[in-house]
């Protein structure tokens, strides 16, 4: 279902571009074009995300097509990375109810439909959720958070496979919710952490 909706959105963006380029149905193209513009405005909460100290960059074109806030993170990323995020406009987000992180591995030509890792707070209390500006070591999250594997079993830590590609879904449930997709590759084995940005 999720993939079908994603395909429909991308198809709409492509139809709009084709109509504008060929001069077809100005009103139809304008309507679809407005949908693409609306997607670029969605999730514009100016979230900044770092994985192992590497700042992710937003992919505006893909966001316009899908409506998701899409990011790419490159650089040295270990098998058990750190994560940090900031909200440049926290007032726009409002009251945060929960933050959930899902990490999917790339399976053949696409990303798996089931996450390899789910990271959540042990408590449903909004005050117990992950906080902006804090560097979280996904290998040592501490007692306030739990990591689940693809079977739903609790495991000690996130342990990625070096050389594999991953997609992280960073989901903020709030007054103005956001879902960010961050694409990255684990290219170093887990090791001692260095100072993060």
What pLDDT was estimated at residue 58?
86
- Tell me the pLDDT tens digit for each residue of 91-150: 888 999 999 999 999 877 788 888 999 999 999 999 999 999 999 999 999 999 999 999
Instruction: Note the pLDDT of residue 65.
Output: 56
Average pLDDT, the chain: 77
Residue 133 exposed, middle or buried by CB count within 10 Å (0-12, 13-18, 19+)? exposed
Instruction: Count how many domains the chain has.
Output: 2
5 within domain boundaries: yes
**Residue 104 sits in the same domain as residue 76:** yes
Residue 191 lies in a domain: no
Whether 5 and 93 share a structural domain: no
pLDDT 10s digits, 137-177: 999 999 999 999 999 999 999 999 999 999 999 999 999 88
Q: Is residue 105 part of a domain?
A: yes
196 close to 84: Cβ distance less than 8 angstroms:
yes
Domain carrying residue 60: 46-185
- Residue 142 backbone zone (phi > 0: left; psi -120 to 50: alpha; other: beta): left
In whole angstroms, what is the distance from residue 191 CA to residue 170 CA? Answer: 24
How far is residue 191's CA from residue 74's CA, in Å, rounded to a whole number?
A: 18
Q: Do both 100 and 51 map to the same domain? A: yes
- My answer on whether 160 and 109 are in the same domain is yes
- Does 140 map to a domain? yes
In a domain, 164, yes or no: yes
Report d(CA 195, CA 122) in Å as an integer: 27
Query: Residue 190: inside a domain, yes or no?
Result: no
**Do 169 and 103 fall within a single domain?**
yes
pLDDT of the residue at 25: 43
Specify the pLDDT at position 3. Answer: 46
The reply to whether 139 falls in a domain is: yes
In a shared domain, residues 106 and 158: yes
Instruction: State the CATH number of the domain containing residue 113.
Output: 2.60.40
Mean pLDDT for the stretch of residues 26-47:
42
């Amino acid at each position: 279902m999720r993939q079908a909706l994603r395909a429909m959105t991308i198809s709409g963006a492509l139809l709009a571009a084709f109509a504008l380029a060929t001069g077809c149905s100005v009103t139809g193209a304008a309507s679809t074009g407005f949908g693409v513009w609306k997607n670029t405005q969605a999730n514009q909460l100016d979230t900044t995300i770092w994985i192992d100290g590497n700042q992710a960059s937003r992919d505006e074109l893909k966001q316009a097509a899908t409506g998701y806030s899409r990011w790419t993170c490159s650089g040295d990323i270990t098998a058990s990375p750190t994560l940090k995020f900031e909200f440049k406009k926290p007032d726009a987000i409002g009251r945060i109810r929960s933050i959930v992180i899902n990490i999917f591995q790339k399976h053949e030509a696409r990303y798996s439909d089931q996450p390899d890792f789910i990271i959540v707070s042990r408590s449903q209390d909004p005050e117990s959720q992950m906080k902006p500006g804090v560097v979280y070591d996904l290998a040592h999250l501490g007692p306030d958070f739990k990591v689940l594997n693809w079977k739903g079993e609790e495991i000690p830590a996130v342990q990625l496979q070096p050389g594999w590609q991953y997609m992280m879904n960073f989901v903020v449930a709030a007054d103005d919710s956001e879902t960010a997709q961050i694409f990255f590759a684990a290219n170093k084995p887990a090791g001692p952490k260095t100072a993060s940005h």
